[in-house]
Every structure is written in C-alpha cells, then in structure tokens.
Amino acid sequence: MNPNNTPLRQYVNIKDYDSRYAADIRDDAYFTFPVGPILEAERALLSGQAGTIAYFSMEYGLATSIYNVYGSARPVSDDNKMTENEVFSNERIPDYLFSLKVDALVDLPIYSGGLGVLAGDTVKTAADMKLPMVAIGILWSKGYFKQRFWFKFGQLPEEMKWDPETFPGLIPLEEKVKLELKNKVIYLRLWKYYVFSRTRDHVVPLVLLDSNVEENDEAGRRLTDKLYRSDDVSGRILQRLILGMGGIRALAALKYPVRIHHLNEGHAAFAFVRKAGDTPGADLEALKSQFAYTCHTPVPAGHDRFSVGECETYLESQDMALVKTFGLEDAKSTVVNLTILAMNTSSSINAVSWKHGEVMKLQFPDYQDRIKAITNGVHFPTWVSAPILKVLDAFAKQMGDYRRDPELLKNVLSLKEDQAFRKGLWQAHQENKKVLASLLSRWRFKEDALTVVWARRIAAYKRPSLLLQDIERLMDIARRIGPLQVLFAGKAHPNDNMAFTYVNEIMNTIDKTQTSGGLLKIMILENYDIYIAKALVSCVDIWLNNPLPPYEASGTSGMKAIANAVPQLSTVDGWVVEAKDSGIGKFFGYEDDGRGYTDGLTLRLNEDARALYAALEEMARLYYDTQKNGEINTQSAWIDMMIHCLAAAGRFNTFRMLNEYRSKVWGMK
C-alpha cells in the first residue's frame, strides 16, 4: 500500500499528511472509520449536483466524547482528555470537596451550550438523512472556558487548553482563506472534521476557520481563540466577519457549489454581504433565495448590534452600502442589527418553537407574515442511553425501526398496558441510576432516593436557584415523603456578574444545609459539559426546568431527558408549551399571557417557588409509590409518565425537525 496515494487525497488537500496523518488516513480507514462514505460525499458535494446546504454556526457541540468516537494510531495529547471535576456537596464525608475522575476524550471544544449542541445534533442528523450538507464553523483554539470552583465561594473561569493537531478525526487543510477588510487582512487556515451518520454510511464535512497563523499579527492570531469571550467590540465584530465572510471564502476555496446558506443565528449574517460582493452583477433579490435564517433567542440582548461607525472600521464602502440597506434597525437608525440584516437578506426566517414564533412576531411585527416556527429537537442516537435502547429493542415488534426513524417512538404508547414493558422500563432506569450512583459514590448517592437535577447555562431568566428558595419546605417534603437528592450544574458566562452570584448562592445554600442523615442531599458539579449532560439526562428521576416565560426560545435539555424516559418538572415555556398536555410530567408557575415580555422583569421567585414545591411534592408521592421495599408497583402513574416521555421523544427530535426544514425552508421533497 502506498499511503501517498490514499484515495481521500484526490479530494482533500491534507496538510502534513506524510508526517502526521498517514497512519490514520489510509485506503480503507479514516481514524478507524470507513473512508468510502467520505469519498462519496466529497464527490457529490464537489460535483454541484447535490444542491448543497451550507450550514453556518458559531459553535458546534458534537458530543465526540460519547458518540462516534474516532480512534487514532498516534498518541493523543493529554490536553485532549477530560480532567477531574470537583463536586461541592453538603455530604461531608470525610471532607466536602472531592474530584470526579472521567476517562474520556474531551468533546471537540468549539461549543458553549445549547446553541452549539443543537448545531451538532443538526449536522449529525443531516448525515443520518444523507442530506447534501457542508457545515462551517470556527476552530476555537482555547474553547469556551473551564469552570473551576473556588473552594466554596463560587466559580473561577480557567483557560481551556486543547491540541487540534492530535485531536482524532480533525485534519488541517492546505487551503488558506484571505479576507480583505478595510485596512486589514485576515488569513484563515482551514480544518476539516467529518461528522459520520449513525450507521457510518454517510458524512457531513465540518469546515473550521482558524486565524492562528503566522501571516496574522498577534491580535489577529487571537481572534479565534475564545468563543463568546471577546471583551471589545472590534473582537466581536471581527469574529462575526470571520464566520460569515470567511465562511463564504472557505466554500469558494474548497470549490463547494452551494444552493442554500443556512444561518444558525445571526452571527453569520455578513455571509450575504460577502456573497453579494463576490458575485459581481448579482441580482440581490435572487441571491436572497440562497439564504435562510434561524433565530434562537427572544431576549433582546441576544441580538448582535453594532454602530455604523464600528462596521465602517472594517468594511469597504460597497460592503457598507449593503449593510446599511439591509441591516439598520430602522431607516434613520445608526445601529446595525445582525438579526435585521439576516431577516432582510434571507428568503426564509424561522423561530425555534411555536411559542418563540409568537414572541418573535411581537418583537418584529414588520416580519410577522414571514416568520415560521420549527421546533428544535435533539439527536436521539446521541442522547439515548444503552439500557433504554435495550428495553425498547426487547419490544421491537411494536416499535418498528425507531433507530432509523425516531418518530416511531410514538408507538411506545401501544405498550402502555404491557406489564413486562412497564417493569422493564423502570428497571432500565434503575440501571442508569446505578451509573450515577457509582460516579457519585463518595457522596453516598443513593439509588433509591428521588433525584432532581437542574443543569444548564446559568442565566438569570433560567432561575437556577428557584428550587432553593425555601430549604425548610424542601426538607419538609423529604421528611414526609422520602429522601431527596438535588443536583446542580452549569457555567456562568465570566462577564455575567448576575449569573456569577447564582453559583455563589447555590454553594452558600449547600454549605449551610444539613443533610439530616441523608434526607436532603444537595450537590453542584463543576464544569457542566456534554459528557456530564449525557450522564445527568439519563440517570436522574426528574428533569427540572424553570425559566421565566417567555424568555426560553426552545430549550433542549428536557428533550434529552424524555429520550431516556425521564419525567419533566417545568414551567410552561419554549418547547414545553407544545408538550405539556402529553403526560410527560408536572408543570407549574407563571405563564406568559401572549402579550410578550416586559422589560422591567421581576423573576417571580417567591410565587413560582411555592408552585414548584407543590408540584414536586405530587411527583415525589408518585415516585415513592413506584418502588417500596424492593417491590415494583407496575401500576404506578410514574411509569405512565415515563412511557409518555418516550412517546413525546418521537416528536422532539432532530429527525422530525430536519424533515420540517427540508419541506418548509430548503424546498426539498
């Protein structure tokens, strides 16, 4: 075998192939995965026959630590492996700070949270559905950040280190992109990561832009180091120019003809400006039919805004003219809003849940006739756990091939009266819970105690500490009904002072609370990431979600939990509005009346906490009614909820979601 002729090199110009990648990329293998599907996908994309969708996203959470894990013949740098995470708990035996050791490859650290996970799940599903897609993102050389606990006093952000050169599956390309801005040139190196389908018969290439190259000056090299961590305006605007404009140039450099540019959030809105500039004489109206835009936030601060002056620092006059035509907040404004720019230059606009669609129409009344709503989903094969798959497989006849088409999960309802299935499902969940119990054994985590978790990005509207408003009331539930274990996890953005205080508050409450002989155990896990998310969504009993309506555009972590038959305890916002009548849990608290949000927001902590405790108490009764002294009560209403969760997972997944994008956005059959 002559490695220099390995067939992939007909299509891909791999940099340093001979010195670094020859052992992993061979005639028959790509980092232990089959090479054939890559060749086929590249051939189809390059031919231009496919009608390619170029998907732009600032972040991607691909779950490489748990799903489609590449192998490598070369040693992987220790920086690419997971480290220890601390756990802070009121279970003080013999001390209350211990580390949780994880032995896994780190997730490709180019995501911060839900938006990235959604993008990653989308790309994986596009591969499963064999869609002609190429994804564009940024190689964040220092990731987002690593959360460290500072004893019991809150969070310290630490720089994340990782090594792209030994990250299995990631390859540098020979092509470089040159982005000429006003008085400034940015060079971008390109990387590629192939995202395989579940059955490994198709791929979507993910192209990552990287400014850390010799040709750039010091500041230029740092532009793509930290995701969402730029403190100055010029850094923020340049990162958006890199994604949007650099992305268009990357597609051209790699010779991928594109039919539709799909902007996952407004960050990439400058793509249209570059495409128009690079297509002399283009009919701008016709060009808009090549762009589609998905908005992910109902929070006004979530939309990127720059002054005309800030844009003029970097954009030549022709580009500026387009930005002013399409991107100003209104005709007299001097503010460029990337959401407006994206909406004015796209032929399709969508929100990410029905509720978010309503809110977005109120926010942008001029666009209301054009705003569609396509509810988010999660990639079922990534998020479902092995014990749940096993019990479903045991009833394959009723289920159909739900792995190929997760919408078939709705068939689980036909098993509702089947006592063997009910018992099997409960036991599968107990098996999952054992995994968490062994991870947290030093904190005496109990398999048979009701376990509630709140885990997601720490932000004020998500109300992280709602459950801790009245510890006496929690203790009262534990005393009367049964022991409670409460887990928290989440990162606060280092510049979000308000979010910081929630980490302090949670730790402070943990510090002050007695376990009362194990009746009420509270713990917070350090450095919430995809790996921890997967463990939590499959291994806990109740998934708690309590944002203040209507600020949650969709939310997806609860969807990961229902894919594992884990019931919801939630306020009614985002995707939950569509799911609350499906018997998947209990719902409580303030509901938005449809008039949209008010800006002088109060978080309604007291009244919603009271409603939360009442709902939790009802759930605790159902839970403790399901298993007593080792006997399983298969009639328990708790098991009904678990079955309804799995059935609802048939809707809240990315297969249903991408089918909607195909027909409503991309014009595919």
Ligand X SMILES: *Cc1c(COP(=O)(O)O)cnc(C)c1O
Question: Which residues lie near ligand X (CB under 6 A)?
Answer: 113-114, 117, 456-457, 528-530, 533, 555-557, 560
Write phi, then psi, for 405 (nearest 5 degrees).
-130, 90
CB of 587 to ligand X, least distance (A): 15
The CA distance from 626 to 637, in Å, is 8
CB of 383 to ligand X, least distance (A): 8
The CA distance from 33 to 477, in Å, is 51
CB of 435 to ligand X, least distance (A): 17
Which tokens in the block code for residue 85? Answer: 């995470």
Can you name the residues that pair with 134 across neighbouring β-strands?
54
The CA distance from 154 to 502, in Å, is 8
Distance of CA 125 to the CA centre of its chain: 14
Length of the chain: 669
Report whether 553 contacts 363 (CB < 8 A): no
User: How many other C-beta atoms can be found within 10 angstroms of the C-beta atom of residue 528?
Assistant: 21
CB of 63 to ligand X, least distance (A): 8
How would DSSP label each residue in 317-342? HHHHHHHHHHHBSSTT--EEEHHHHH
C-beta of 421 vs 454, nearer to ligand X: 454
Helices (H), 373-418: 380-383, 386-393, 396-399
The CA distance from 409 to 404, in Å, is 11
C-beta of 560 vs 656, nearer to ligand X: 560
C-beta of 249 vs 651, nearer to ligand X: 651
Q: In sequence order, what are the residues at sequence separation of 6 or more whose Cβ sits closer than 8 angstroms to the Cβ of residue 51?
A: 132, 259, 260, 668
CB of 459 to ligand X, least distance (A): 9
Tokens 């009764």 sit on residue = 621
C-beta of 304 vs 529, nearer to ligand X: 529
CB of 557 to ligand X, least distance (A): 3
C-beta of 120 vs 246, nearer to ligand X: 120
Which tokens in the block code for residue 103? Answer: 């032995």
C-beta of 142 vs 275, nearer to ligand X: 142
b/e code 66-78 from CB counts within 10 Å (16+ = b): bbbebebeeebee
The CA distance from 601 to 254, in Å, is 48
Kindly list the strands in the beta sheet with 568-570, ordered across the sheet, starting from the edge strand earlier in the chain: 97-101, 84-89, 520-525, 484-489, 450-455, 542-545, 568-570, 585-587
b/e code 356-393 from CB counts within 10 Å (16+ = b): bbbbbbebbeebeeebebbbbbbbbbbbbbebbbebbe
C-beta of 65 vs 513, nearer to ligand X: 65
554 closest CA partner among 487, 653, 483: 653
CB of 282 to ligand X, least distance (A): 38
C-beta of 52 vs 147, nearer to ligand X: 147
CB of 179 to ligand X, least distance (A): 30
CB of 114 to ligand X, least distance (A): 3
How would DSSP label each residue in 575-636? THHHHGGGSSEEE-S----SS---SS----HHHHHHHHHHHHHHHHHHHHTTEETTEE-TT-
Report whether 293 contacts 348 (CB < 8 A): yes
C-beta of 244 vs 494, nearer to ligand X: 494
C-beta of 113 vs 169, nearer to ligand X: 113
How would DSSP label each residue in 244-276? IIIHHHHHHHTT---SEEEEESGGGTHHHHHHH
C-beta of 559 vs 641, nearer to ligand X: 559
CB of 56 to ligand X, least distance (A): 20
CB of 624 to ligand X, least distance (A): 26
CB of 560 to ligand X, least distance (A): 6
C-beta of 102 vs 207, nearer to ligand X: 102
C-beta of 189 vs 456, nearer to ligand X: 456
Which tokens in the block code for residue 238? Answer: 């340049």
CB of 189 to ligand X, least distance (A): 27
Report whether 544 contacts 453 (CB < 8 A): yes
Q: Which helix (H) or strand (E) holds 193?
A: strand 184-196
Q: What angle do CA 455, 457, 458 make, to 5 degrees?
A: 95
CB of 44 to ligand X, least distance (A): 31
Write phi, then psi, for 155 (nearest 5 degrees).
-105, 145
CB of 463 to ligand X, least distance (A): 12
Give 662's DSSP letter: I
CB of 74 to ligand X, least distance (A): 28
CB of 532 to ligand X, least distance (A): 7
C-beta of 89 vs 112, nearer to ligand X: 112
C-beta of 113 vs 357, nearer to ligand X: 113
C-beta of 559 vs 622, nearer to ligand X: 559
Strand stretches in 274-320, DSSP E:
291-294, 305-307
C-beta of 53 vs 455, nearer to ligand X: 455
